Structure 1
Amino acid sequence: METVEDLIRDFSSKLGAVAGEFSSRADRIIASGCLSNGASTGQAAEHHDLVAQARHHLAVRKARRRHFPTDLFHEPAWEMLIALFVIYETDHSMNVKALVSCSDAPATTSQRWIDHLHKSGLIDRVTDPIDRRRVDISLSEQGNEAMVRYLTEVAGLA
């Protein structure tokens, strides 16, 4: 039987997914030039292209899992980095439960990768001051810069 805390965490996770969808729609509107958030339209379009490329990476990985055993191509850290990049400019962070669900890995494996990514300086962890059990994860500035460089390089190879 689920506890109230479990239900709240699940609800919070689902709200985060809804917020992510609204944020991605806002990104598309900003990138189309209809709105401006202080950045030039060219910069917004360039960022939107990288986010679209990151989303494409996630979609390709999910498609691959539908056709092949998941343990053949298991990279939970990479899937978490891509998911965090996609939301970096909008929501900026994701709770641990939502991030673990992005990786399609057991919670313990995902938690070990979160620890490793944090020690590597690629992500930041912030404990919610109201609910100390809730931890929000975001790309660090270093992690975001690395993702931008990688996606830009990969786009140049295509």
Structure 2
Amino acid sequence: MRFRELRPRFFKERLFSDPAWQMLLDLMENNLLEKEVSVSSLYIASGVPISTASRRLDDLEEARLVTRWDDPKDGRRQYVRVTAKAEQLITDYLMNLDKLLGDPKS
């Protein structure tokens, strides 16, 4: 319960549906690994139908947590990554979560 209560301090509630969160975590992990992520791969990683994943990606983009661009070699493909804003929010969230785990009375 405390973990869920912590999330809205960093992210808007509507962005915190499980697919959006899963997509952000996947993008953050790939960002740390310096790997590019295609939109289609991200949709698959979300674990929900493509139409739902597409709406969540639009929400994340509208909130300026992700950016996407066309593949210059293949106009049918797009890539996506977290923004600096999202990196900071995710990092802050995880650091606070770590504190909460270290101090169960927090």
Q: State the TM bucket, normalised to the shorter chain.
A: 0.7 to 0.9
1:122 is displaced (CA, Å) by 0.3
Partner of residue 59, structure 2: 116
Contact 1:96 1:137 in 2 (8 A): yes
- Which structure would you say has the larger RCO, counting Cα contacts within 8 Å and 6 or more residues apart? 2
Larger radius of gyration: 1
Partner of residue 96, structure 1: 39
For structure 2, the residue ranges without an aligned partner over 5 or more in a row are 1-16, 102-106
Distance 2:45 2:96 in 1: 24
Superposition RMSD in Å: 1.2
Runs of 4+ more than 4 Å apart = none
Structure 1 counterpart of 2:65, one-letter code: L
More helix by share: 1
More strand by share: 2
Normalising to structure 2: TM-score of the pair? 0.75
1:92 is displaced (CA, Å) by 4.3
1:140 is the counterpart of 2:83: yes
1:105 is the counterpart of 2:48: yes
The alignment-based identity, stated in percent, is: 28
Normalising to structure 1: TM-score of the pair? 0.51
For structure 1, the residue ranges without an aligned partner over 5 or more in a row are 1-73
